[in-house]
Amino acid sequence: MELPLEQFNKLSLAEATSALLTCCTSTQWAQTLANKRPFTDMQTLLVHSDDAWTQAQTDEGNLLEAFDGHPQIGNVDSLKEKYRNTQSSAAHEQSGANDAEDSVIEALAQGNQDYLDKFGFIFIVFATGKSAQQMLDLLLARLPNDRQTELKNAANEQNKITRLRLQKMLSDA
């Protein structure tokens, strides 16, 4: 759904909350932000969103509720499809590139499962513009962390994702 900020401001509380839940599935965040309307501009909305997310982070249940709104990156077939058209350099056109890419995809799938097994929630990362290899590198760098560190890391990544989704949803058009 894409709507102008002015129209969003006029939605009922229930409609605004429902729309916000498409950006982040934390009920507390969505209700807090919906109650802060009206917003004069996108920057003001994003500041209030950040504040609402900071409040929501005080309860682990809110974090897990938000994380549950993401599909797990871990299915090898869906990962192959996601990254199929991202290869543009000549190096990836070489005969061994497809095998290497498959190995990255399989390692990413395994890493995601290892992450879920260790922390009890899926790997959350702001994936926009990242290759499969970059995602794998980030996952492997975060996997040795303790659960509290990863809750914080995932919460920070969730906020980046939410901000992007808000900007896409609430166009000025």
Q: What token pair was written down for 68?
A: 């549950």
pLDDT computed for residue 91 by the predictor: 36
Q: How far apart are CA 129 and CA 131, in angstroms?
A: 7
Q: Quote the CATH superfamily of domain 5-66+162-169.
A: Oxo-4-hydroxy-4-carboxy-5-ureidoimidazoline decarboxylase (1.10.3330.10)
Reported CATH class of domain 72-86+93-155: mainly alpha
pLDDT of residue 21 exceeding 60, the answer is yes
The pTM (predicted TM-score) of the whole model is: 0.83
Hey, where are the domains in the chain?
A: 5-66+162-169, 72-86+93-155
Please tell me if the domain spanning 5-66+162-169 has the same topology as the one spanning 72-86+93-155. yes
The residues annotated as belonging to the active site are 70
Q: 22 with 1: CB under 8 angstroms?
A: yes
CA distances 28 to 64, 108, 114, Å, are: 12, 31, 29
- For 108-143, give one letter per residue: b (16+ CB within 10 A) or e: bbebbeebeeebebbbbbbbeeeebbebbebbeebe
Which one is predicted more confidently, 127 or 143? 143
Tell me what pLDDT residue 46 has: 97
